[in-house]
């Protein structure tokens, strides 16, 4: 009886958004900063990657409720690109304990293998739901359904080849779906797609030689990330180490020179600064 009285009878909280006061303003380590409430789903909050250089370029992290595009930098870098997508998904899942949904096609599995030792990579298997479909069109349908579902932290869909099925219209549609659900949409193309897409960020991922461990064996995974397109800030090239044991990126990432912001969609911070 006493236990029932001491506990709170009713608790109302907004999970997954600590420190958030009202819409559009976030309190972050004592510093109040404006969060842009653009139509790109930015207001949904961001996933902090834990790498200061990267988070700065992304204006606080990878936007939830938006679509992000990944592609391997070379034909043999599929493992790296998939690994980066998984690492992001694992981070998102670790944040609030929601599930990760992974979509592949039969062709992609034949070509590049099926998801396998993911628990050792940092994504617990009970947090993972996998859909395997026959056709990229069906993958897109499943992707959209997954993005609309609020129970998923991240949806990672991979399309074989360039993923022509996900053209500008399709990616715009997926972005809107992601805004509805508020999850992280990750589109992995097996090859780089040269045409425009509605994704908020576009990445090219490669693995880069790791620092060998004390015994001369293979070190931790090291990604070479080219942020090719970023609607919230500058583009750039980063190196990030993934620690699968602790499920974090190591903070001391190298930034290999910043590129200019995307020309077709200028960086808003730049505008504010000049104005």
Partner 1 sequence: MAMNDAAARLGLKSGLALADARAMYPTLTVADADAQADRRLLEAVADWCDRYTPLVGLDPPDGLTLDITGCAHLFGGEKAFCADIVQRLARQGLTARAAIADTVGCAWAVARFGRATEPQAYTIVPVGGAREALLPLRLAALRIAPEIEAGLAQAGLKRIADVIDRPRAPLAARFGEAFIRRIDQALRREDEPITPRLPIPAYVAERRFADPILLETDVLGTIEALAQELARMLERRGEGARHLEVALFRTDGKVDRIAAGTGAPLRDPARIRALLAERFTAIGDACDPGFGFDVVRLAARTTERCDPQQTGLATPDHAAELAHLIDRLGARFGLRRVTRLVPQDTHIPEFAVAAMPASDLILRSPRSGRLEGWPQARSLPATMVRDARKSALLPMRLQDKAILADSLCSPRPIRLLGRPEPIEAVAEVPDGPPVRFRWRRVLHQVALAEGPERIAMEWWRDQNGRALTRDYFRLESREGVRVWVFREGLYGRELAEPRWFLHGLFA
Q: Report 137-166 residues binding partner 1 (CB under 8 A).
A: 138, 141-142, 145-146, 149-152
Instruction: Provide the pairing of β-strand 152-159 with 99-105.
Output: parallel
Region 79-98 residues binding partner 1, contact defined as CB under 8 A: 79-80, 82-84, 86-87, 97-98
Confirm or reject binding of residue 126 to partner 1 (CB under 8 A).
yes
8-16, 44-52, 53-61, 159-167 -> range binding partner 1 (CB under 8 A): 8-16
Torsion angle, alpha carbons of 109, 245, 46, 155, to 10:
20
90 in Cβ contact with 100 (< 8 Å): yes
93 touches 99 (CB < 8 A): yes
Q: Does 251 contact partner 1 by CB under 8 A? A: no
The verdict on 77 binding partner 1 (CB under 8 A) reads yes
Closer CB to partner 1, 205 or 261, in the complex:
205
Using CA atoms, how far apart are residues 244 and 123, in angstroms rounded to an integer?
Answer: 9
- Residues 219 to 248 in contact with partner 1, rule: CB under 8 A: 221-224, 242, 245
Name the residue with tokens 């999970």: 15
Residue with tokens 């190591």: 250
Question: What angle is formed at CA 81 by the lines to CA 57 and CA 76, rounded to 5 degrees?
Answer: 135
Which residue lies nearer to partner 1 by CB, 60 or 182? 182
Q: How far is the CB of 175 from partner 1 (least distance, A)?
A: 19
Under the criterion CB under 8 A, does residue 2 sit at the interface with partner 1? no
């Amino acid at each position: 009886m006493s236990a029932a009285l001491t506990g709170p009878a009713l608790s109302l909280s907004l999970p997954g958004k600590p420190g958030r006061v009202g819409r559009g303003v976030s309190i972050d380590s004592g510093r109040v900063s404006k969060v842009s409430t653009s139509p790109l789903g930015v207001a949904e909050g961001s996933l902090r990657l834990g790498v200061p250089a990267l988070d700065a370029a992304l204006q606080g992290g990878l936007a939830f409720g938006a679509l992000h595009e990944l592609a391997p930098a070379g034909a043999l870098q599929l493992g790296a690109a998939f690994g980066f997508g998984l690492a992001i998904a694992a981070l998102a899942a670790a944040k609030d304990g929601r599930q990760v949904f992974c979509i592949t096609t039969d062709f992609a599995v034949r070509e590049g293998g099926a998801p396998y030792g993911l628990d050792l990579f940092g994504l617990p298997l009970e947090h993972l739901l996998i859909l395997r479909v026959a056709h990229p069109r069906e993958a897109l349908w499943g992707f959209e359904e997954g993005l609309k579902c609020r129970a998923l932290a991240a949806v990672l869909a991979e399309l074989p080849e360039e993923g022509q099925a996900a053209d500008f219209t399709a990616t715009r549609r997926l972005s809107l779906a992601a805004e509805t659900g508020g999850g992280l949409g990750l589109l992995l193309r097996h090859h780089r797609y040269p045409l425009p897409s509605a994704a908020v960020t576009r990445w090219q991922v490669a693995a880069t030689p790791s620092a060998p461990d004390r015994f001369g064996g293979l070190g931790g995974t090291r990604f070479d990330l080219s942020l090719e397109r970023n609607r919230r800030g500058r583009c750039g090239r980063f190196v990030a180490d993934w620690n699968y044991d602790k499920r974090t990126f190591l903070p001391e990432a190298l930034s290999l020179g910043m590129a200019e912001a995307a020309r077709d969609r200028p960086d808003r911070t730049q505008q504010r600064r000049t104005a």
